[in-house]
């Protein structure tokens, strides 16, 4: 493999990268075969000791609604307001395909868990880039199910696993507006 691959197109894609606004993601989404290819590309991230400290849970078709029903049941048992329950029911219906990227660190005593969690975050970002380069739009959200123990049980998470992000993928139904960007000169210092 070449150590570098200069690409004006890749540089332009990165310079203008923008997550989709969740209400601007529609049908269709990637087919199962196309999604498998995107996930293979997404997994090409820094991964100290090649542990693969992440995994994917894919929600397509009716699985999105069934998971939403499970989330609604969790909130219903907590006597949440009806509007919150209905919103939970519809969370994954915002896109035709949703991928939960699960941080699944391996406690090998050698590789810091923090590095493994960063690798899972890199998978999320790489999935957005791969989707965009393939003609799909997407956004990376977490929201309450990513931090809730009962939602973790519903997902089948074990041990130290947790949600790195829910990746919503589909077809852009409108242009996402650009947002103000930070002044990078205030973020950069040079040591010494």
8: in domain: no
CATH (domain of 80): 3.40.109.10
Q: pLDDT class for 51, splitting at 50, 70, 90?
A: very high
What is the model's pTM?
0.94
What three-state secondary structure class fits 167? strand
3: in domain: no
Residues 75-134 have pLDDT tens digits of: 999 999 999 999 999 999 999 999 999 999 998 899 999 999 999 999 999 999 999 999
Q: CA 61 to CA 180: how far, in whole Å?
A: 35
Residues 149-180 have pLDDT tens digits of: 999 999 999 999 999 999 999 999 998 888 88
- Structural domain for 108, as ranges: 23-173
Total domain count, the chain: 1
Please choose, from the candidates 17, 2, 69, the residue with its C-alpha nearest in 3D space to the C-alpha of residue 178. 17
192: in domain: no
């Amino acid at each position: 493999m070449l150590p570098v691959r200069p690409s004006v197109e890749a540089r332009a894609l990165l310079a203008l990268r923008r997550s989709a606004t969740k209400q601007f993601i529609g049908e269709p989404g990637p087919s199962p075969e196309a999604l498998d290819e995107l996930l293979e590309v997404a997994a090409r991230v820094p991964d100290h000791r090649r542990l693969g400290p992440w995994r994917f849970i894919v929600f397509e078709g009716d699985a999105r609604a069934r998971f939403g029903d499970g989330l609604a049941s969790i909130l219903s048992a907590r006597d949440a307001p009806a509007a919150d329950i209905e919103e939970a029911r519809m969370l994954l219906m915002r896109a035709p395909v949703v991928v939960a990227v699960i941080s699944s660190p391996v406690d090998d005593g050698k590789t810091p868990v923090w590095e493994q969690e960063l690798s899972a975050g890199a998978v999320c970002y790489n999935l957005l880039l791969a989707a965009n380069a393939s003609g799909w739009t997407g956004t990376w959200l977490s929201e309450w199910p990513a931090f809730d123990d009962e939602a973790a049980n519903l997902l089948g998470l074990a041990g130290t696993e947790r949600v790195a992000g829910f990746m919503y993928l589909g077809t852009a139904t409108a242009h996402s507006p650009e947002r103000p960007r930070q002044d990078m000169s205030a973020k950069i210092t040079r040591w010494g």
